[in-house]
Amino acid sequence: MENVFFKDIESVAQMLKVQEVSPIDLTKKLLERIQSINPVLNAYITLMSKDALEQATVLEKELKEGIIRGSLHGIPIALKDIFETKGSVTTSGSRIFENFISQKDAEIVKLLKKAGAIIIGKANLHEFAMGATTENPHYGPSRNPWNILKIPGGSSGGSAVAVAAGMAFAAIGTDTGGSIRLPSALCGVVGLKPTYDLISTDGCTPLSKSLDHIGPMTRTVADSRILLQVMADAKKLERVDLSIRLKDLKGVKVAICKDYFFEGMDEEIAIHIHQALAKLENLGAEIIEVDIVGIQEALQAQKIIFKAEAYAFHESMFMDKSHLYGEDIQFRLQAGKDVLASEYIQAKQYQQAFQQHIEHKMQAEQIDVFFSPTNIIPPFDIGSVGPEESVNNIFRLGKTPLGNLLGLPILSVPCGFTSERLPIGFQIMGRMFEEGKVLAIGEVYEQSEGWVSYLERNEVYQIEKTM
């Protein structure tokens, strides 16, 4: 049974289908594993043991009757603790919501359950998803399973840890400035930020409504495709071709922009990023270098929109209960309080103009995807950055925020390790609703390298030995 914890969804689904393993036994063993390892890694805030076993019992009965709900039937997954789950607490990583019992399931939770997924628990996160490290002052920091002294990235840090350490077969996160992609890269898993609003945010605590995205965090690109098909809005999914598969990358045009995207990289990470780019070229891709006008203005617009929209949601709570927020979140919200309406309007106008600029460039130059590093430095030590400095961590760690301003689909794929065995990832960004092509390109690379996107068993045992 121990070997099953690091298998991909398709493999586990087949085992369940032929009754090599049962949903009840799988859920029980996974819960035991989480209870053993979570005290060290702190991936979960809430373990939904009772609900998970009840779901497993129903799903096992259905399997015996020949009923299969969908591609996730009997598969335990984790949810970032920012999605409502009916009858259980949804903290959003804060003390303010520590007793908030949801009266409904978030839209994605409904879809996941309909497809047969078992919700195993609610994963830890940076408070209110407003940071890049998952150093949560209320529920404790999540720890990177490759080195428990290091951050896992954020804000969906607990979700990435759960997948990487065999504590869930997949997890669902949110991404407003890189919060799926960064922790996926830092923990060595696959992270997908889909096209804006392809997946409904209903029942998800907002951070910045016009920048928020929901997406899967998985061990393989194929698993991301499975989850996207389940969670996406059915009508909008008609615009996405998830049937695309590629044998190689001949005919694929990959663009790079060295300005900004390739700046500030750690030397060791730069080597792996350029090796990954060379591998894409060896697989048949045409690599072109392009210039993008207005990047710094776009980054500034992203910051203004983020600050203003975050403060708008939190304003009444922050005025009454500011002392309950972590120090770094207080700094962020104070900054949002000072944004002028005119600045916000101008930033939104620039967002639209920048989106049109990139769309035009991709069309005019027949660009299939943009390539860039996901993380530009390795994960740093937990507790090494103060609250005021942490405000800019997402810009320090990676090149992800522009993707949210653009609303385009972006996939982060593991591409190796530093000499200290800390993971590295690159990201590829496609055109609106071209998730199928983005996933297909990522899958060709993944299969060519054979990267193992999860912890080796002996390293997990090292974690267990520290308890």
pLDDT tens column, 335-377:
999 999 999 999 999 999 999 999 999 999 999 999 999 999 9
pTM: 0.96
- Say whether pLDDT at 151 is over 80: yes
CA dist 400 → 178, 179, 180, 393 (Å): 5, 9, 10, 11
- Say whether pLDDT at 412 is over 90: yes
Per-residue model confidence as pLDDT tens digits over 173-190: 999 999 999 999 999 999
Per-residue model confidence as pLDDT tens digits over 288-302: 999 999 999 999 999
Torsion of CA 376, 190, 182, 30, to 10 degrees: -130
* 114 vs 103: CA distance, rounded Å: 18
CA dist 224 → 79, 93, 256, 308, 375 (Å): 15, 25, 24, 31, 20
Q: Compute the mean pLDDT over every residue in the chain, rounded to the nearest whole number.
A: 94
Q: 19 is written with which tokens?
A: 């009754």
Query: What was the pLDDT predicted at 177?
Result: 96
Identify which of 71, 20, 431 has the alpha carbon closest to the alpha carbon of residue 231: 71
Give the mean model confidence (pLDDT) for residues 15-34: 96
CA dist 84 → 159, 201, 350, 390, 453 (Å): 16, 11, 33, 27, 28
Query: What was the pLDDT predicted at 386?
Result: 77
- Say whether pLDDT at 428 is over 60: yes
What is the largest distance, in Å, between two alpha-carbon atoms of the chain?
Answer: 61
- Say whether pLDDT at 404 is over 80: yes
Query: What was the pLDDT predicted at 457?
Result: 47
- Say whether pLDDT at 390 is over 70: no
Q: Which residues are identified as catalytic? A: 80, 155, 179
Per-residue model confidence as pLDDT tens digits over 245-288: 999 999 999 999 999 999 999 999 999 999 999 999 999 999 99
Which of 193-207, 316-330, 381-395 has the lowest average pLDDT?
A: 381-395
Give the mean model confidence (pLDDT) for residues 104-110: 98
Which of 35-39, 342-346, 393-397 has the lowest average pLDDT?
A: 393-397
Q: Under 8 Å CB-to-CB from 3, ≥6 apart: which residues? A: none
The β-bridge relationship of strands 410-417 and 190-193 is antiparallel
Sheet holding 44-47, edge to edge: 44-47, 118-123, 76-80, 171-175, 213-218, 190-193, 410-417, 423-429, 369-373, 253-256, 286-289
Identify which of 143, 230, 222 has the alpha carbon closest to the alpha carbon of residue 183: 143
- Say whether pLDDT at 221 is over 50: yes
Query: What was the pLDDT predicted at 130?
Result: 96
DSSP 8-state code for residue 199: S
DSSP 8-state code for residue 408: -
Which of 77-91, 238-252, 382-396 has the lowest average pLDDT?
A: 382-396
- Say whether pLDDT at 453 is over 70: no
Instruction: Characterize 257-276 residue by residue with b for buried, 16 or more Cβ atoms within 10 angstroms of its Cβ, and e for exposed.
Output: beeebbeebbebbeebbeeb
Per-residue model confidence as pLDDT tens digits over 68-79: 999 999 999 999
Q: Which amino acid is at 414?
A: P
Q: How many helices (H) and strands (E) does the chain have?
A: 17, 13
